[in-house]
């Protein structure tokens, strides 16, 4: 099938769909809503050192602000996808934006670390609605417009929006944090969410009228509430274990394993499973995509957070200077994502992403406080290339492999695996910089990253399904 086949009508176009179904009026709120999570990921990185000083805590203790957002997001992303399938993607999208607005207010007023954790949890829950709802809205729009699938650039735009946000986030965050203080990392959500809310109300058509919900018990069964709670409990216990490192919190790990086993047993019997274990076991291409995406983003975020802290604490850069230092990484990520979004084939971009991850990890072993800044910038830029190529290509594979009826939940799980990588990155940086931020800790991070990069490269090179899928896209 050629790329142009995507634009051929498969049925009569719905009368209320405009001539250009993916005009800026429609896609702008989707891209902005999907970018709210990367906004919070990138800007907080430049505020951690100042925040720790203001609250009189160690820099390593601020890792909870990273892991709390990503734990919440990891739980809420597939849940938001399931709720969007049940109640309508526009409704869930608007609900998420409203939560982000509330989180901005909470973060603005909070005076302690627990209060900031609450704000980050609300941010994680709210921003989680953006991506899976956007994927559902894009697929629904294609169906209404009579297209077999949306144009490549539309799907790629979701990844490009996130990459572009990461590109400007550190520099913008560093500038605002330097001028206005660390609370900027929280109140910045208020204007962004307000704009997204208005654009959504104006540009996204209302969801179709719903049938009656029925009893709460029937609703809980349809969304698999027990499965959601089991997944959440297992993941929460795992994060508690990771946050205790380097001390080993065996009880938390044991609870995580027990709940995971119980979750699998439950999902194998559930009529509408939240975590479709059978699908993951049978659709190995989809499962490999989840794992590959999580490991790639682990590598990206461990550099985003670890290098930022090292630049400020070990190299003595200000928040604004460290944000500017990461600008090449973000810009190359956005540019690469835009280029890959125009391609229908995915194997070569994924291989290139894996090779670049290895190169960047090895190069990090030779970085130190005496390394010239241009060299540091060049090494960090390598991770921008790997992030841009890997994120878009993995998203394309997901769209091809996921069942159409559950694309919301499947899209949420893709982000969940990415958040698991982000949670692990916070744990890695917290352990490496447990006592103080210095070159040895940065090199410990690099060695871990070398191992991760090697795994990604091997699993990508040996994945024959990627080549078969590419051949299916040929004319």
Q: Where are the beta strands (DSSP E) in 20-101?
A: none
Mean pLDDT along residues 196-207: 91
Cβ–Cβ < 8 Å for 74, 235: yes
Whole-number pLDDT of residue 214? 63
- With a cut of 50, say whether residue 2 has pLDDT above it: no
CATH fold, domain 22-206+214-224+270-472, is Growth Hormone; Chain: A; (1.20.1250)
- Measured CA to CA in angstroms, residue 398 lies from 294, 296, 410 at distances of 13, 15, 8
Max distance between CA atoms of the chain, in angstroms, equals: 66
In sequence order, which residues have a C-beta less than 8 Å from that of residue 302 and are 6 or more positions away? 424, 425, 428, 429, 445, 448, 449
Lowest model confidence (mean pLDDT) among 155-169, 177-191, 327-341: 155-169
How many separate helices (H) and strands (E) can be counted in the chain? Answer: 21, 0
- With a cut of 50, say whether residue 86 has pLDDT above it: yes
Cα 260 from chain centroid (whole Å): 22
- With a cut of 50, say whether residue 350 has pLDDT above it: yes
DSSP run (H or E) holding 261 = helix 250-269
In 3D space, the residue among 87, 315, 297 whose CA is nearest the CA of residue 206 turns out to be 87
SS3 label, residue 147: strand
- With a cut of 70, say whether residue 15 has pLDDT above it: no
Mean pLDDT along residues 233-243: 82
Mean pLDDT along residues 199-225: 78
SS3 label, residue 34: helix
- The tokens describing 439, both together, are 């070159």
Whole-number pLDDT of residue 16? 60
Rounded CA gap, 27 and 273, in Å? Answer: 30
In sequence order, which residues have a C-beta less than 8 Å from that of residue 260 and are 6 or more positions away? 234
Whole-number pLDDT of residue 18? 66
- What are the backbone dihedrals phi and psi of residue 147, each rounded to the nearest 5 degrees, phi first? -100, 145
Cβ–Cβ < 8 Å for 411, 130: no
Residue with tokens 């993916």: 22
- With a cut of 90, say whether residue 178 has pLDDT above it: no
Rounded CA gap, 90 and 88, in Å? Answer: 6
pTM: 0.74
Rounded CA gap, 54 and 184, in Å? Answer: 14
Sign of the dihedral through C-alpha 354, 358, 359, 363: positive
CB atoms within 10 A of CB 245: 13
- The tokens describing 307, both together, are 């290098």
DSSP run (H or E) holding 20 = none
- The tokens describing 442, both together, are 């940065």
Whole-number pLDDT of residue 454? 94
Cβ–Cβ < 8 Å for 89, 254: no
Whole-number pLDDT of residue 6? 42
Lowest model confidence (mean pLDDT) among 105-119, 121-135, 152-166, 177-191: 152-166
Q: What one-character DSSP code corresponds to residue 241?
A: H
Rounded CA gap, 163 and 416, in Å? Answer: 17
Q: Degrees (nearest 5) of the Cα angle 327, 333, 338?
A: 130
Rounded CA gap, 401 and 313, in Å? Answer: 44
In 3D space, the residue among 101, 83, 102 whose CA is nearest the CA of residue 91 turns out to be 83
- With a cut of 70, say whether residue 458 has pLDDT above it: yes
Q: What share of the chain is helix, strand, coil (3-state, %, to 5)?
A: 80, 0, 20
């Amino acid at each position: 099938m050629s790329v142009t086949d995507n634009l051929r009508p498969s049925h009569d176009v719905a009368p209320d769909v405009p001539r250009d179904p993916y005009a800026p009026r429609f896609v702008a709120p989707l891209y902005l809503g999907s970018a709210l999570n990367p906004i919070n990921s990138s800007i907080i990185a430049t505020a951690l050192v100042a925040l720790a000083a203001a609250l009189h805590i160690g820099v390593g203790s601020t890792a909870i602000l990273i892991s709390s957002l990503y734990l919440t997001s990891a739980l809420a992303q597939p849940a938001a996808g399931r709720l969007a399938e049940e109640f309508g993607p526009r409704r869930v999208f608007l609900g998420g934006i409203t939560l982000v607005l509330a989180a901005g207010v909470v973060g603005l007023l909070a005076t302690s670390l627990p209060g900031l954790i609450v704000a980050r949890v609300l941010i994680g829950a709210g921003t989680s609605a953006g991506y899976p709802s956007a994927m559902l809205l894009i697929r629904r729009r294609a169906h209404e417009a009579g297209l077999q699938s949306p144009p490549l650039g539309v799907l790629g735009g979701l990844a490009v929006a996130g990459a572009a946000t990461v590109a400007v986030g550190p520099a913008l965050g560093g500038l605002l944090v330097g001028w206005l203080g660390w609370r900027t990392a929280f109140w910045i959500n208020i204007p962004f969410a307000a704009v997204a809310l208005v654009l959504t109300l104006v540009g996204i058509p209302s969801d179709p009228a719903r049938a009656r919900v029925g009893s709460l018990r029937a609703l809980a069964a349809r969304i698999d509430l027990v499965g959601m709670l089991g997944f959440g409990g297992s993941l929460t216990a795992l994060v508690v274990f990771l946050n205790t490192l380097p001390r080993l919190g065996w009880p938390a790990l044991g609870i995580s394993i027990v709940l995971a086993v119980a979750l699998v047993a439950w999902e194998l019997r559930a009529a509408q499973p939240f975590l479709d274990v059978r699908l993951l076991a049978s659709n190995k291409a989809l499962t490999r995509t989840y794992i590959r995406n999580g490991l790639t983003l682990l590598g990206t975020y461990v550099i985003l957070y670890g290098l930022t802290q090292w630049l400020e604490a070990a190299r003595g850069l200000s928040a604004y200077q460290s944000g500017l230092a990461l600008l090449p990484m973000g810009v190359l990520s956005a540019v690469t994502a835009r280029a890959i979004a125009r391609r229908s084939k995915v194997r070569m971009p994924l291989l290139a992403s894996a090779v670049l991850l290895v190169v960047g990890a090895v190069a990090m072993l030779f970085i130190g406080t005496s390394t010239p800044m241009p060299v540091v910038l060049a090494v960090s830029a390598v991770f921008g290339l790997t992030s841009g190529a890997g994120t878009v290509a993995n998203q394309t594979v997901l769209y091809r492999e996921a069942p159409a009826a559950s694309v919301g939940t499947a899209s949420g799980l893709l982000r969940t695996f990415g958040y698991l990588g982000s949670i692990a990155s916070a744990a890695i940086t917290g352990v490496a910089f447990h006592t103080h931020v210095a070159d040895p800790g940065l090199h410990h991070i690099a060695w871990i990253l070398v191992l991760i990069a090697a795994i990604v490269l091997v699993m990508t090179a040996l994945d024959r399904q990627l080549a078969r899928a590419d051949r299916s896209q040929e004319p």
